[in-house]
Every structure is written in structure tokens, then in C-alpha cells.
């Protein structure tokens, strides 16, 4: 039997084609062979599913993640891999969310998109789709992970970040090397790819949105900090800190944190640095946070931190268990 890939089309720049007047419209997925006739040469079967409505990924939200996860769950046994076509703006969030949604994944879920619509002559979309399909369809070199393929690299989804609104190499992974590089051949870095699981796949589709992100900056006032920490129903807050997880040591700041931790809100320390890790206690400017019970994000990306919290709060109820799971690498998202 031929290998088979299911394309799940969510929208984004990639899915636009120009009409005879040069105007860009989203293309219908049943026209993929018109848009990319080269795909007729593929040795694998391609089926497609289109989300309704298709969206610019700035409108992405947990209910769409749920829909994508449900489609994959339903079709899991029928395909060798899945390709999610997605806008680039929030692709790293969706890739991270899906990585948490699927435990013991034994098939590739590859996300890609493009900086220029497929309908434009210089589009990077053609290359991205064709390589991503090849990776998603490969039975011999199986990647049991949620990944992003962009330009010529395959990244672990929950390690990826969009870094350019201009360049074709729009994504990178600062704290984990790429999993594969596409040149004349696709070179897979076997030792970096997650091993095949030995337990059945399990899907988690609940994401709890009762979180907030508090970005520190010199001069931040108590009014700003307090207004975030006193949001009704808040269950967790990510504090994006300086360097290796450092923050002001002013009494009012530490008291605000301590009060909210005592109320049961999880405070998660994620560094503003793109690479490197939080190390609570390395400097005096973080040791009080450790004492208060702030949880280290290690080298997690903000995209993975947001979605990991939503996933844990959506699927676990015990606060201690959640904080314990935050400090474990569940899907390869942190380096311990």
C-alpha cells in the first residue's frame, strides 16, 4: 500500500493564490494539484481536510487546536503522517500546543507555511510543502514528533520560534538543534529525534486559558504588576524575567509574588533571553523567587511555556502535580 499523508489546511499566507487580476484569495484544498501540479509525481497518497473557517493565524486559539487534534485523532490509523498548513505568525504556538496534546506520538505531525503566498512566483511555499510532505510521508525515517519545517530545516515544534517577518528562513530553535536539514538529500539527525514510544498514543484536548504573561521591564510599577496578578480566575502567570531568571528585589515586587503564590496561583519564571536557561538562585536577584515558590521555566520558549501551562491546567487539577510536571521535560521542550 502507498504511504499516505493527510494535509490539514488551517489558513495563513501560504493558502493564497492570485486570480487573473492579481488579487489574492485562499485556495480550496481540493485544488492542491492545480496549485502544485508537481505533487502528481509524488509516490505517496495525499488527502486533505480544510478547517472551517480558514484563518489568519493571528486568530488562532485553543478551540482550533482542539479541532486540529480531533481530526488527527480520528484519522491517526489511516495515515503515515500529517501536514498542517498554518500561518507563520502563531505556528510555533500551535506546534507547541499539539506537542502537548499528543503523548506517545508514533507518527510525524509537520507544520509548515510560507512568507509569500503559493500563488506568487517567488513563493517559498512550494519548497516548504513538498519537503514537509516528504518528511511526513517517510516510513523509513520516521519522526514521531510535532515539528515545524521551514526553508530547509526541520525543527522540534515546541522549541521553535518565529524570528523574521521578512526572511524566508523565518523560524529557528535557539536551545535545541534542528532535527533534519534538507539539501539534495534530507539529512536526518537520528540522535536528536525522539525515540519511538512503547505505549499507546493518548490525546489531551483541553487547554485552560486562565493564564497571563507579565513582561518585566526596568521601571515596571506595582500598579501594573498588581493589575495582572489580581485578574479574577487567574490560575498561572508567566513572568518573563531578565537573563538567567532574574527580577527586581524590591519588597513590593516580592510581596506581590508571595501573595499570589499563597493564593495558589502558579508563577512561572521564563527568561526574556532567546537562548540559555533560567537558573534560580544563581544571582541574589532570583533566589528570593525560589524561596517564594516561583517555578523555573529552564530554557523553555514563551510559546511552549504558554501552551504547556494551558495544557497542564486543562488536564490536571492538583497544583503540586502541575508544578512538578512543569519542571519535567514532557515532550522534549526543556533541557534539564
CB of 168 to ligand ASP, least distance (A): 11
Please select the residue that binds ligand ASP; options are 22, 30, 40, 58, rule is CB under 6 A: 58
Closest by CA position to 147, among listed 138, 158, 134, 133: 158
Assess contact for 148 and 157: CB atoms under 8 A. Answer: yes
Q: How many residues bind ligand ASP, per CB under 6 A?
A: 11
When asked if residue 127 is in the footprint of ligand ASP (CB under 6 A), the reply is no
CB of 91 to ligand ASP, least distance (A): 7
User: Looking at 52-60, 99-107, 254-262, 294-302, which segment touches ligand ASP (CB under 6 A)?
Assistant: 52-60
Strands 81-85 and 109-112: parallel
Please select the residue that binds ligand ASP; options are 28, 45, 48, 56, rule is CB under 6 A: 56
Residue nearest to ligand ASP (CB): 87
> In this structure, how many other beta carbons lie within 10 angstroms of the beta carbon of residue 172?
20
When asked if residue 172 is in the footprint of ligand ASP (CB under 6 A), the reply is no
Assess contact for 194 and 145: CB atoms under 8 A. Answer: yes
End-to-end alpha carbon distance in the chain: 42
C-alpha grid cell for residue 16?
493564497
CB of 164 to ligand ASP, least distance (A): 10
CB of 11 to ligand ASP, least distance (A): 6
Please select the residue that binds ligand ASP; options are 80, 89, 256, 333, rule is CB under 6 A: 89
When asked if residue 50 is in the footprint of ligand ASP (CB under 6 A), the reply is no
Percent helix, strand and coil across the chain, each rounded to 5? 35, 25, 40
Per-residue mark of binding to ligand ASP, 91-120 (x: CB under 6 A): ----------------------x-x-----
When asked if residue 269 is in the footprint of ligand ASP (CB under 6 A), the reply is no
Which residues 6+ apart lie within 8 Å of 264 measured at CB? 319
Closest by CA position to 85, among listed 43, 142, 121, 123: 123
Q: Hey, is 298 helix, strand or coil?
A: coil
Give backbone dihedrals phi and psi of 100, rounded to 5 degrees, phi first: -75, -30
Active site residues: 13
**Binding residues for ligand ASP, per CB under 6 A?**
11-13, 56-58, 87-89, 113, 115
Amino acid at each position: 500500500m502507498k504511504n499516505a499523508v493527510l494535509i490539514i489546511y488551517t489558513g495563513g499566507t501560504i493558502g493564497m493564490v492570485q486570480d487573473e487580476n492579481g488579487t489574492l484569495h485562499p485556495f480550496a484544498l481540493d485544488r492542491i494539484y492545480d496549485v502544485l501540479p508537481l505533487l502528481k509525481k509524488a509516490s505517496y497518497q495525499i488527502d486533505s481536510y480544510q478547517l472551517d473557517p480558514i484563518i489568519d493565524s493571528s486568530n488562532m486559539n485553543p478551540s482550533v487546536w482542539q479541532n486540529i487534534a480531533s481530526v488527527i485523532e480520528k484519522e491517526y490509523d489511516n495515515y503515515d503522517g500529517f501536514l498542517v498548513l498554518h500561518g507563520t505568525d502563531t505556528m510555533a504556538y500551535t506546534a507547541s500546543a499539539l506537542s502537548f496534546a499528543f503523548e506517545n506520538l508514533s507518527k510525524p505531525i509537520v507544520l509548515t507555511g510560507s512568507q509569500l503566498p503559493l500563488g506568487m512566483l517567488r513563493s517559498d511555499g512550494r519548497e516548504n510543502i513538498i519537503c514537509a510532505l516528504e518528511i511526513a510521508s517517510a516510513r523509513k525515517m520516521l519522526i514521531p514528533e510535532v515539528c515545524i519545517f521551514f526553508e530547509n530545516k526541520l525543527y522540534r515544534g515546541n522549541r521553535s520560534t518565529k524570528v523574521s517577518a521578512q526572511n524566508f528562513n523565518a523560524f529557528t530553535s535557539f536551545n535545541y538543534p534542528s532535527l533534519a536539514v534538507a539539501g539534495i538529500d534530507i539529512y536526518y539527525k537520528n540522535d536528536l529525534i525522539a525515540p519511538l514510544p512503547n505505549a499507546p498514543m493518548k490525546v489531551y484536548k483541553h487547554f485552560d486559558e486562565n493564564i497571563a504573561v507579565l513582561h518585566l521591564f526596568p521601571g515596571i510599577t506595582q500598579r501594573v504588576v498588581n493589575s495582572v496578578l489580581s485578574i479574577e480566575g487567574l490560575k498561572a502567570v508567566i513572568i518573563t524575567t531578565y537573563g538567567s531568571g532574574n527580577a527586581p528585589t524590591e519588597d513590593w515586587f516580592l510581596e506581590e509574588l508571595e501573595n499570589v503564590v499563597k493564593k495558589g496561583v502558579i508563577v512561572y519564571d521564563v527568561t526574556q533571553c532567546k537562548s540559555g536557561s533560567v537558573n534560580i538562585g544563581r544571582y541574589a536577584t532570583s533566589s528570593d523567587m525560589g524561596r517564594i515558590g516561583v517555578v523555573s521555566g529552564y530554557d523553555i520558549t514563551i510559546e511552549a511555556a504558554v501552551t504547556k501551562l494551558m495544557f497542564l491546567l486543562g488536564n490536571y487539577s492538583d497544583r503540586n502535580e502541575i508544578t512538578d510536571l512543569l519542571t519535567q521535560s514532557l515532550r522534549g521542550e526543556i533541557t534539564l
